[in-house]
Amino acid sequence: MQPSALPDLAHTHARPIHWLATAAAMAAVVAGAGVLQPEAATASQAGGIRTAAAPAAGPAPDPAAVTYPLECAGAPSVVSKRATGDIDGDGRPETVVAAHCRAGSGTPPSGLYVLARGAGAGARVVATLVEPAERRSVSEISVRDGVVTATLLGYSSPDVPSCCPDQRETVKWRWQGDKFVRSAPAEAHGV
């Protein structure tokens, strides 16, 4: 065995008394921190800014509780997409839905509707963003920062079969004043 070039460090060997002293010191620090708390923080604003209490958010409107303005010739309507968020800035969520008639084949046109809470727990359609007569289908919708974004699928000509939309367009709406304003759409792209 070779002699060690390092000195023997006797103080590095912990004994029970060392652990007891460390535990006592830590207990003293924790107890001292509990007794010597700083005062509670307070903030004040010069000028007396007042804020109104936010309205109770409540649940988003339920799409199943609404009758949509669709002419389905006796077929039921279907909600295919939905998104929720506070669109008008009132602190309560609205629901945006893409609904269409249940068709046996093809790609039925969708309506894109904004729902708000009605009286009680009910819901009602407050705006139509895309009319079914536009012959568009909604493939995606989202609500983010008060903006409704939808990806619309459509047709470049009446000769395109209804099963196979060949145009894609992303559209945005923002609530301004008392109505939804549609952003200038980018040029429609082929699918």
Q: Is residue 15 part of a domain?
A: no
Query: What is the per-residue pLDDT across 158-176, written as a single tens digit (0 to 9) for each?
Result: 898 878 889 999 999 999 9
Q: SS3 of 60, please?
A: coil
What's the total number of domains in the chain?
A: 1
70: tokens are 């669709």
Q: b/e string for 43-62 if b means 16 or more Cβ within 10 A? A: eeeeeeeeeeeeeeeeebbe
Q: Is residue 54 part of a domain?
A: no
Query: What is the per-residue pLDDT across 49-104, written as a single tens digit (0 to 9) for each?
Result: 333 334 456 788 889 888 899 888 888 889 999 999 999 988 999 999 999 988 77
Q: Whole-model pTM above 0.75?
A: no
Domain containing 163: what range? 72-190
Q: Is residue 182 part of a domain?
A: yes
